[in-house]
Amino acid sequence: MAEKYWREIIERKWIVEFDRKPYDKHKLSGFVLDVNDDFTLIHQFDRDWIATDGYCVFRNESVRKFWVHDKEEYYLNEVVKLKKIEPRPVPEISIESWPSVLRTVSDNYPLIVIESELIYKNQCNIGILRKLGKKKFSLLEIDPTAVWYDSPIGYKLKDLTMVGFDGAYENTLWEISESRKSK
C-alpha cells in the first residue's frame, strides 16, 4: 500500500484490524503509529475493553489481510470519538530491523514482550534485554508472579514474530518487582 495512504491512516487515527493467521487466530486491532516495507508499529486497541493497551511491532509479512476503519459512522470510530480515545505518542522506536526494535524499546521501557508465534503458540516471554547480536539476543525474564529468572535466556532474531511493550500486564509485573526491592 502506498506510503501516502499509511500517512493518512496515521494522521486521521483510524483503527486498523490485522488478520495474522496462522501466527495468531485472533485479529489484532490498533492505531498505526509507524510503518515501513517490513514492519508496523501500533498502539493496540482492545475491542472488548474499549481501551488502548500497550504497543507492538510485527512483520508485515505476517499479515494476511487488514481492514482500515475509515468511515466515521463505523461503530468503533464513534466509540473512540465519544470516549476521546487517542493513541499516545511513543519515544523514538526504530522499526528498521528486529535489532533496532529491541534496542530502542529497551532504551525507553523497562520490559520487552517477545513472541515467536510460529514456534510457541499462545506464549510470550517478558524480560529485560541483556545481549543483542546479529542473529541472537537474550532476555533476563520475569515470570507471571513477578519473580526474576536466575540467568538470561537466548533467542534467535529470525524466530521473532512480534515485540510488545508498555502494556498493563508487563507494567504491573515491573511495578510489583520494583516494590519488592524496597521491602
Q: Which of 42, 64, 90 is the last residue of a domain?
A: 90
Do 72 and 103 lie in a common domain? no
Q: What is the CATH number of the domain that holds 26?
A: 2.30.30.100
Domain containing residue 60: 1-90
pLDDT at 70: 87
How is residue 84 written as a grid cell? 476521546
Do 84 and 98 lie in a common domain? no
Do 46 and 101 lie in a common domain? no
Render each residue's pLDDT in the chain as its tens digit; 183 residues.
577 889 999 999 999 999 999 888 889 999 999 999 999 999 999 888 889 999 999 999 999 999 998 888 888 888 888 899 989 888 789 999 999 999 999 999 999 999 999 888 888 999 999 999 999 999 999 999 999 999 999 999 999 999 999 999 999 999 999 999 876
Neighbours of 33 (CB within 10 A): 19
Nearest to 127 by CA among 158, 97, 107, 106: 106
Residue position matching grid coordinates 490485522: 18
DSSP string, 97-160: SHHHHHHHHHHH-S-EEEE-TTTSTT--EEEEEEEE-SSEEEEEEB-TTS-B-SS-EEEEGGG-
Q: Which of 90, 121, 145 is the last residue of a domain?
A: 90
pLDDT at 178: 95
Q: Which of 44, 75, 90 is the last residue of a domain?
A: 90
The model's pTM is 0.93
Do 108 and 74 lie in a common domain? no
pLDDT at 5: 86
Q: How many domains does the chain have?
A: 2
pLDDT at 134: 95
Do 33 and 96 lie in a common domain? no
